[in-house]
Amino acid sequence: MKKPVLLFFICCSFFLQYSKAQNIGINATGALPDTKAMLDVSSTTSGMLIPRMSSAERNAIATPPNGLEVYNTTTNNLDIYRGSGWIPVAYADTSVILVRSLADLPAPVSAGITLDSTKTYSFSGLVNIAPNYINVNGAALKGTNPIRDGVMSTVSGAILRSTNMHVYMEKLLVVNLTAATKAYDFSDNTGTRSCNIITGNNVKQTTASAGVGQVSGFRAVVILQNYFDVSDGIKVTGTMGRFISGFNLYGSITGTAIEFLPALAVDDIDISNNHFIYTGATGVKFNVGATLNRGRMTSNMIRGVTTPLSGFDSYTPAWEMQQNSGITNSRAFATAYMNDNVSVTNLPANGTYYSLAGTATLVNAKRFTLAGNKLTYTGLRPWPIRVFAVIGGKSPAALADYSICIAKNGTSIPFPNSSLGAMANGQGFQITLQSDVDMVTGDYIEIGVKRNNNNTSNITITDLQFSVSSL
């Protein structure tokens, strides 16, 4: 064998042994491969091509192992076999715009940056857009870390604005840089849009500012799990379906955390599980002129706030309040009485209940009004009511015998009732009755009395104690 041929076989043998024992490097410099890579391909001028095939050819591969990759020429996609099928490898989503600086946003026009309504703008870091504002224009706004991802500006008015478009934000920090700057001004005059400020949005300020800002109109406004650490809170106005604030923290407030403005007309308000933690100022204010169908406040933590509620309270008919620190739970109750009444109650028919004659005096009433001896329920919530009544007087004749009952809306409820036995002429008496009655808005109750024999046709009830209380 000639020497060159022998040398070739020796080299090939050496290469094969080396390849079996070591990682493989492919490059133009002769550099050793990375010890952590079985195959290390290096180039500054070329790429690497993997097998290219159609979907049909890919599917014809018998029993592909997990992790097998091909370039699919039918879909122009990189496919990988995982589990029990082929899936495309995800490419960058062109609907998401990563915002690291002002240059990543559309160019300002008259200080307004109008976003593309088909895009989601994902902020990375705190982007200074001063002196401009953003017209959200239906785009979604997101951050990853609400402590550092967001936007700041020195603009007078709101940094983020929207008109007649859906609003969706999450994990976005907004920093007000001047006293005239606020975070939001979102409005909808169509009554068909929703405003969702949810999950970790944060509003802060570098100096006393105009605060969180304003929402107006919308079919629904949902503000959940946010931190508003600014001088003033959220203003709510316009014609609105429902307003929901839950699990938010309001701090550093010197004005009002949630204020319902005079022009508001809203169906439902739900303020639950929020924390109002600041010294002085006002928690929730409902201005004169604002109208509401139903509202509730439940399980809110209120600490240090000088005026938790302004313009309404636990007994305002449209509102229900339970388990809020520093605020009385909502109830319905009233107490009325008559002393030394001289009005005669006529009892023309034996065994028939008639309303007591005379005019009672109201001691205290929450969600009840009094007219004569009738207590009318004015609350909006259907409620079971406990009724307690005591009447007193003197028997007008021997063997007189009387019973009392509760009458609802002019109709006697005969059971339960309370009765006396036969009395002597002039004998003093008291009759006591306690019962429960279900009531809805506008229902009224009164005490009825009847005679149980034919000894007399009328009576003077000189004394009455009449009280009602929700259960």
| pTM for the model | 0.76
User: What is the helix (H) or strand (E) element at residue 11, kind and residue range?
Assistant: helix 3-21
Check residue 286 and give its pLDDT.
98
**Mean pLDDT of each 10-residue bin along the chain, 471 residues long:** 47 44 78 83 86 93 91 87 79 78 96 97 97 98 95 98 98 98 98 96 96 98 98 98 98 97 98 97 97 97 97 93 95 95 92 92 94 93 93 89 92 86 88 94 94 81 95 89
Strand 69-72 and strand 428-439: the pairing is: unpaired
Check residue 93 and give its pLDDT.
56
User: What is the helix (H) or strand (E) element at residue 7, kind and residue range?
Assistant: helix 3-21
Q: Is the CA virtual torsion 426, 427, 430, 431 positive or negative?
A: negative
2: which residues sit within 8 A by CB, 6+ positions away?
none
Check residue 184 and give its pLDDT.
98
DSSP letter (8 states) at residue 423: B
d(CA 1, CA 412): 128
- Are 172 and 150 in contact by the 8 Å Cβ rule? The answer is yes
d(CA 3, CA 14): 16
- Polymer length in residues for the chain: 471
Q: Determine whether 306 is exposed, middle or buried from the number of CB atoms within 10 Å of its CB (0-12, 13-18, 19+).
A: exposed
Beta strand segments in 264-420, E: 265-272, 275-286, 291-298, 301-310, 319-322, 333-338, 344-346, 354-355, 361-366, 368-371, 374-377, 383-394, 402-408, 411-419
What's the CA dihedral at 151, 152, 153, 154 to 10 degrees? 170
Q: Determine whether 153 is exposed, middle or buried from the number of CB atoms within 10 Å of its CB (0-12, 13-18, 19+).
A: buried
Query: Hey, how many other C-beta atoms are within 10 angstroms of the C-beta on 182?
Result: 27
Tokens of 463: 């004394």
Strand partners, 378: none
